[in-house]
Structure 1
Amino acid sequence: MTRPMALKPQATRQIVRRLGALVLSLAVPAAAVAAFWIWSERAGSFFFPPASEIARYFGELWLFDRVAADVLPSLARMFAGYGIAAVLGVAVGTALGLSRTLRTATDPVVQFLRALPPPALIPFALLLFGAGDASKVFIIALGTVWPILLNTVDGVRGVEPQQLEAARSYQIPARARLVRIVLPAASPRIFAGLRTSLSIAIILMVVSEMVASDNGVGYFVLESQRSFAIPEMWTGIVLLGVLGYLLNRLFLAVESRVLFWHRGLKGNTDA
């Protein structure tokens, strides 16, 4: 009868470290929720209803009564705008990063456009696209494209010139240099921009739905506030926090798989 193989000390330390990080990441949110729960139950405030009441309304509204009516349309607009911004940001950022002349010529325009606050352009979007989904997608794309574009420019500019010169000397085609050298080298910065833009997309999703809209999570929160349905309003706010957390975790999982080689080079294999 063979004895089970003992874990190596390094593997044991890694498991203990991950368990400790998991406990620590759960302890602070759990303590914050418990503190708010106890305080709200005793506060008797109209604006801060008991957490048990918020939880009851959350179950009634979002599991799964209003998912198709509000959550799915909101996510569809957000992903549409975010996807457009990702494609444009990477494509234009790559072109600007590769060409110093093009980058110098377009820098004033880029700096001017990125300084415009997207919520201020909602009236323009409504005039241009109407009150449908197109205006909301436009606002989300306009606000989220800049972190992706600027990080792509920095990532492409950071590619080692020696690598590109060696590729040219071996007569590697331009497309192969772009796909095999430039984009992989710039991908850590690109993903940093994509992660920043994801949080901006959630914010702009909510803001765009608060004007000339008849569905969506942002619309629900605003209408609940206007009708003084405070517990319902809080359920929308909690839902937005949950969605933001889940989307961020999903993004980190994708990033960990795509950039596994980068983490290995840095000596960091943790997800």
Structure 2
Amino acid sequence: MASVRTRGDRTVKALTRQVLFAVGLPAVLLGLWWAASDASTDPFWPPLRTILRTFPSVWTGERLRSDVVPSVLRLAAGYVLAGLAGVGLGTLIGSRRGVRAFCEPVLEFLRAVPPPVLVPVIMLFAGIGDTMKIVVIASGCVWPVLLNTVEGVRAVDSVMLETARSYHIGGVGRLRHLVLPSASPQIVAGLRQALSIGIILMVISEMFAANNGIGFTVVQFQRSFAIPDMWTGILLLGLLGFLLSVAFHFAERRVLGWYHGLRASTRRS
């Protein structure tokens, strides 16, 4: 009973520490921003208190439905598409040496092309609707997922592969029970990198031929010289990125609980 209580106390302390780390740095940065801008009279650098006072009147329920929800849905669609394509292609390329040798030069070339440069090209083929924005997000998010999946699949223990082969475990069974679990830490690392890229590309894609979205709204505020309103959009993007990062962190701890537990036990031993 005492050991269970001790384990529970450790879990609570660990969660408390994680929350403090997650909230502490943003709070410190906001405090520094408040202090640095408090006496500002520059119209392009308004005090933080002015931005915070403007925030509720700008991002009302109607604007959240018309701008924030479409942005999040596009981000989710592009991110999921990139995740599926990156894991699928990465598993194929990483597990087949011949395919990897054939694809590697092409992958290195395409990875070096900045996704924002492709926006005008994608507009020619996908138009200016939501499809274009989703494709732009997916085209940038796919690379960290793909490359991390390739490296994760290549790093699967050869002894475990030989053991699975000797027990006639192949195809879908080996992929499901050995390859993907072994590569999952690097796959999740690629997904984490892709999330921040996706937010950036979400904003960039909405600055081109859009009629709603957070990026579109921020540009409209800038063009109409509604500077405090523009800063509220930037603050909203930071808040959205923070919330998505926290949600991803908790999902990662749940999905990779076995991996983090193994690392913790290794450090203790």
* TM-score normalized with structure 2 length: 0.92
Instruction: Output the amino acid matched with 1:54.
Output: I
For residue 227 of structure 1, report the CA deviation from its aligned partner. 1.1
Matched ranges for 1:1-271 at <5 A = 15=12, 19=16, 22-23=19-20, 25-267=22-264
Bigger mean CA offset, 15-24 vs 245-254 = 15-24
In structure 1, C-alpha distance between the alignment counterparts of 2:177 and 2:21, rounded to whole Å: 40
Alignment check: 8 A CA contact 2:38 2:48 kept: yes
In structure 1, C-alpha distance between the alignment counterparts of 2:132 and 2:265, rounded to whole Å: 42
Bigger mean CA offset, 144-153 vs 50-59 = 50-59
Bigger mean CA offset, 34-43 vs 118-127 = 34-43
In structure 2, C-alpha distance between the alignment counterparts of 1:100 and 1:21, rounded to whole Å: 41
For residue 24 of structure 1, report the CA deviation from its aligned partner. 5.2
For residue 26 of structure 1, report the CA deviation from its aligned partner. 3.6
Query: Structure 1 residues 20, 193: CA separation in 2 closer, same or farther (over 3 Å shift)?
Result: closer
Query: Structure 1 residues 28, 244: CA separation in 2 closer, same or farther (over 3 Å shift)?
Result: closer
Query: Structure 1 residues 45, 152: CA separation in 2 closer, same or farther (over 3 Å shift)?
Result: same
In structure 2, C-alpha distance between the alignment counterparts of 1:35 and 1:203, rounded to whole Å: 24
Bigger mean CA offset, 257-266 vs 39-48 = 39-48
For residue 29 of structure 1, report the CA deviation from its aligned partner. 2.9
Bigger mean CA offset, 94-103 vs 34-43 = 34-43
In structure 1, C-alpha distance between the alignment counterparts of 2:67 and 2:15, rounded to whole Å: 37
For residue 161 of structure 1, report the CA deviation from its aligned partner. 1.1
Alignment check: 8 A CA contact 2:203 2:214 kept: yes
In structure 2, C-alpha distance between the alignment counterparts of 1:123 and 1:23, rounded to whole Å: 43
Aligned residues: 266
Instruction: Give me the identity figure in percent.
Output: 47
Deviation string, structure 1 residues 138-164 (Cα, Å, up to 9, x no partner): 111111100000000000001011111
* TM-score normalized with structure 1 length: 0.91
Gaps of 5+ in 1: none
Instruction: Output the amino acid matched with 2:195.
Output: L
In structure 2, C-alpha distance between the alignment counterparts of 1:83 and 1:8, rounded to whole Å: 40
Instruction: Output the amino acid matched with 2:100.
Output: R
Bigger mean CA offset, 245-254 vs 59-68 = 59-68
Question: RMSD of the TM alignment (CA)?
Answer: 2.2
